[in-house]
């Protein structure tokens, strides 16, 4: 298929179906198929394609290789009061993260807040999926995770932190939640891989070559820059926040001790940690006052004067607009993912996602 040929639009339901069937085909249990698919589909639906269904081949390889447990037994191992520690038993990362946020919400119902540390997890994909899971239930949700070293420090020329995402979801009465989902690097590494697949040049100042010097060539990108450009010390410090909460506080590996996501070893668990937090607004003030405050804040934000030719948006506004379009029109996957899906379908005798009819 040439670059000029439009790729087919695939319905979200078909992508969801294909992913679930592929997970079952490699012997993953139902909780893994469900959680992993939910996480990827959250990203694909909201236009965060770097963390969407393009990760399916990677997760299947890790499940088959033994890095990920196909039948994990998630269990509580510690904590007291509003704090809980759970062991994800080397599950695919979304399993522990969704389970952890479910427990955090239950604790927040009782105590006003709930904090859950997740041990023995793995790559959990889009952090926003877990923050949103709390916001959908009327709670403020926060999610943090570290990952293998891909990001240099400010003025550094060596990989130290992972992309170390931070996500926050806040319920908004009568509309979609306020949603922040950010890497503490200038861009996530999966964006580099996506741009390689698409043959797109990287933005300025987001990635570096082996010497720590900026490069816009996705094929030459060996490390990522911290968020903030000339003020990258701020992004590096934010990465440290995620590192402390998800690795130090859980007793799991620091970013520079974690085996590479890309292998070559796909048989050894990576011992990642994650941290999720849920806050119950009802513990702080009456719900009506909370809803009024959020409404006034967002109304003022969105109606503030933009620069010429631009539009002011709240965190999540772009994603909800993309989600509405993709629910209606479907989504085109990138060429590398298209090829990988064809290989998965042939290998396991699965029907490929059927394109929407024009």
Q: Is the pLDDT of residue 4 over 80?
A: no
Q: Is the pLDDT of residue 88 over 70?
A: yes
Structural domains in the chain, CATH included, are 12-285+331-348 (3.30.1370.60)
What's the pLDDT score for residue 190?
77
Q: Which of 143, 138, 145 lies closest to 105, judged by CA?
A: 138
Contact 323, 47 (CB under 8 A): yes
How large is the average pLDDT for residues 105-123?
A: 98
List, for residues 35-83, the tens digit of each pLDDT value.
Answer: 999 999 999 999 999 899 999 999 999 999 999 999 999 999 999 999 9
Q: Between vectors from CA 159 to CA 156 and to CA 163, what angle results, nearest 5°?
A: 110
- Retrieve residue 167's tokens: 């996500």
**What distances in angstroms separate CA 317 from CA 183, 215, 289, 314, one per listed residue?**
18, 30, 23, 6
pLDDT bin (cut points 50, 70, 90) of residue 90 is very high
List, for residues 238-268, the tens digit of each pLDDT value.
Answer: 999 999 999 999 999 999 999 999 999 999 9
Q: Is the pLDDT of residue 273 over 50?
A: yes
What's the pLDDT score for residue 358?
53
Taking the complete model, does pTM exceed 0.85, yes or no? yes
pLDDT bin (cut points 50, 70, 90) of residue 211 is confident
- Dist. CA 296–CA 173, nearest whole Å: 12
What's the pLDDT score for residue 284?
98
Of 14-23, 206-215, 284-293, which gets the smallest average pLDDT?
A: 206-215
What's the pLDDT score for residue 127?
97
Say what percent of the chain tops pLDDT 70: 98
Q: Is the pLDDT of residue 155 over 50?
A: yes
> Where would I find the H helices in the chain?
12-25, 30-45, 56-65, 93-111, 128-135, 189-198, 232-243, 287-303, 317-329, 335-348
How large is the average pLDDT for residues 22-34?
A: 98
What's the pLDDT score for residue 230?
83
What's the pLDDT score for residue 197?
84
What's the pLDDT score for residue 2?
45
Rg of the chain over Cα atoms, rounded to whole angstroms, equals: 20
Average per-residue pLDDT in the chain?
94
pLDDT bin (cut points 50, 70, 90) of residue 86 is very high
What's the pLDDT score for residue 126?
95
How large is the average pLDDT for residues 322-346?
A: 95
């Amino acid at each position: 298929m040439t670059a000029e040929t439009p790729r087919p639009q695939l319905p979200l339901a078909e992508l969801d179906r294909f992913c679930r069937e592929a997970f079952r085909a490699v012997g993953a249990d139902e909780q893994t198929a469900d959680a992993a698919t939910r996480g990827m589909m959250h990203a694909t639906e909201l236009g965060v394609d770097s963390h969407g269904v393009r990760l399916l081949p990677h997760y299947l390889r890790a499940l088959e290789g033994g890095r990920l447990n196909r039948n994990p037994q998630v269990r509580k191992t510690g904590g007291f009061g509003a704090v809980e520690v759970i062991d994800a038993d080397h599950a695919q990362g979304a399993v522990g993260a969704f389970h952890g946020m479910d427990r955090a919400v239950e604790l927040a119902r009782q105590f006003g807040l709930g904090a859950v540390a997740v041990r023995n997890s793995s790559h959990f994909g889009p952090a926003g999926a877990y923050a949103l899971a709390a916001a959908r239930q009327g709670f403020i949700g926060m999610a943090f995770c570290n990952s293998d070293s891909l990001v240099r420090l400010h003025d550094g020329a060596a990989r130290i932190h992972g992309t170390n995402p931070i996500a926050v979801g806040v319920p908004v009465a009568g509309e979609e939640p306020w949603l922040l989902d950010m890497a503490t690097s200038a861009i996530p590494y999966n964006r580099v891989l996506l741009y390689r697949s698409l043959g797109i040049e990287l933005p300025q100042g987001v990635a570096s070559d082996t010497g720590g010097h900026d490069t816009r060539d996705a094929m030459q990108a060996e490390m990522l820059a911290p968020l903030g450009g000339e003020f990258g010390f701020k992004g590096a410090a934010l990465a440290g926040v995620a590192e402390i909460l998800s690795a130090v506080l859980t007793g799991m590996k620091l970013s520079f001790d974690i085996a590479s996501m890309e292998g070559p070893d796909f048989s050894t668990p990576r011992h990642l940690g994650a941290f999720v937090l849920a806050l119950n607004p009802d513990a702080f003030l009456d719900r009506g006052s909370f809803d009024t405050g959020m409404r006034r804040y967002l109304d003022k934000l969105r109606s503030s004067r933009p620069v010429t030719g631009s539009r002011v948006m709240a965190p999540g506004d772009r994603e909800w607009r993309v989600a509405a379009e993709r629910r209606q029109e479907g989504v085109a996957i990138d060429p590398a993912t298209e090829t990988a899906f064809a290989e998965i379908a042939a290998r396991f005798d699965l029907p490929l996602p059927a394109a929407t009819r024009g």
